[in-house]
Chain A
Amino acid sequence: MSHSSAHSPAEHAVDDHDHDVAAHVRTYLIIFGALLLGTVLTVAMYYVDFSSMALTVAVALFIATIKAFLVAGYFMHLLSEKKLVFGVLILAAIFFISLMGLTLWGSGDLPRNSDFKTLYVP
């Protein structure tokens, strides 16, 4: 896209994707609604008794992950991002998953269910 020097500086900012941006605004508002709905759902789940802590945690983290996907994918434009950004994030994901995996693996070796008074003296 070429500009003559007669254009105001702001017009330089307008690129070929101008019309796409207007369409994107609609998407942003839909995602906004979905995120608010997700928040209501997260809180509603708290009042449901799943009778299993593992299931409760799984449901809460599942909803949070979907919300995170919406924010990263649309607000942060990750769905249409260049390869290099994914390279950086895949590396971070590998380290993050390793960290959480080692945490859960190692937690089995720690003492638990001991009498709190032997550990905690106020």
Chain B
Amino acid sequence: MEIPYTYKARPDTGLYNAKVGIWLFLASEIMLFGALFSAYILLRVTAPAGFWPDLALAWPRGLLNIPIGTFNTAVLITSSVTVVLAWASLKMNNFARFRVYMVMTVVCALAFLGIKSFEYNDKFSHYVVRLKDGKSLTGHIEVDGRHPRFWNFDDQWSVAKLTEKKIEKIKVEVDPPRDINGHVKKHEGHGSDAHPAQEVAVSDIESMGSYTPATHPFFAVYFLITALHGLHVLVGALVLAYFAFPGAKMWKSNPEQFINRIEVGGLFWHFVDLVWIFLFPVVYLL
């Protein structure tokens, strides 16, 4: 049986069926991400003061790498324009150009994911160290001369584990001080001088935790939403790569349906970009 209305518009809706389908799906995706954004709001407005060491802030700001986040935003916006240009190229009957734009889109998607995993990795070796004298430090740590790595969960450190392994000192590359908005105050030095290494005796530490969900709800909600978004980027990239190569056979057999597939795939891809447009200011800047 042939599937109806794959390229002809259904008379009552005026749309081909796949377009109705993708918009229903995107509406449900709005609610999925909406629920997570509402969780973010609740966690943030109810976070108790003093939860984050800097200046007794309830909610940490400016902890993510803004230049990298901005660059990644530009990468995703670029992929959004290339996917719509790929669709327009097919409309203008230029298959070669379609494929170039589609490959560019997939390359952007992979670049986005690569950059994001670099950021993730960085957070696993970045610690909050609360000292027994009431002060606290943040910075990347070195234990036994190396940074903890994210692919090794044995490499996550606590006071109990350091004591158990009979490690007496750790090195903290102390972050520069921040003001109330999370902006780094004037640099005292540059390069490695901006993060002076400080030896800290384990016996002086009250508690410590990496920039991961167990340490603060900010990281819980950051990792949850960005990872779900990243999963969407990955799935989108797979679908678009399929259309660019094995799935492109349909251009010969049924070009109208193929163009519609590209449009529907593109609609999903633009939605992924839309989520990031809100996600970027919310987790990086606010």
Question: A-side interface residues toward B, CB under 8 Å?
Answer: 9-15, 17-18, 21-22, 24-25, 28-29, 31-32, 35-36, 39-40, 42-43, 45-47, 49, 56-57, 60-61, 63-64, 67-68, 71-72, 75-76, 82-85, 88-89, 91-92, 95-96, 99-100, 103-104, 106-107, 110-116, 119-120, 122
Contacts and interface: CB of A to CB of B under 8 A. Distances in A.
Contacts of A84: 13-15, 20
Interface stretch (B91-99, B185-193, B226-234): B91-99
B255 interface: yes
A120 B280 CA distance: 28
Contact of B91 (A21, A39, A61, A75): A21
A57 B278 CA distance: 11
B-side interface mostly: helix
Interface string B43-54: 001111111000
Nearest to B254: A9
In the complex, which range does the number of interface residues on chain B fall in? 35 or more
B281 A18 contact: no
Contacts of A22: 92
Contacts of B130: 122
Contacts of B209: 122
Given A25-B88, A88-B24, A95-B31, A72 B274 contact: yes
21 contacts: A10-B251, A12-B255, A14-B93, A42-B280, A42-B285, A47-B183, A49-B181, A57-B286, A60-B282, A60-B286, A68-B277, A68-B278, A84-B20, A88-B23, A88-B27, A89-B27, A95-B31, A96-B34, A103-B41, A110-B46, A114-B48
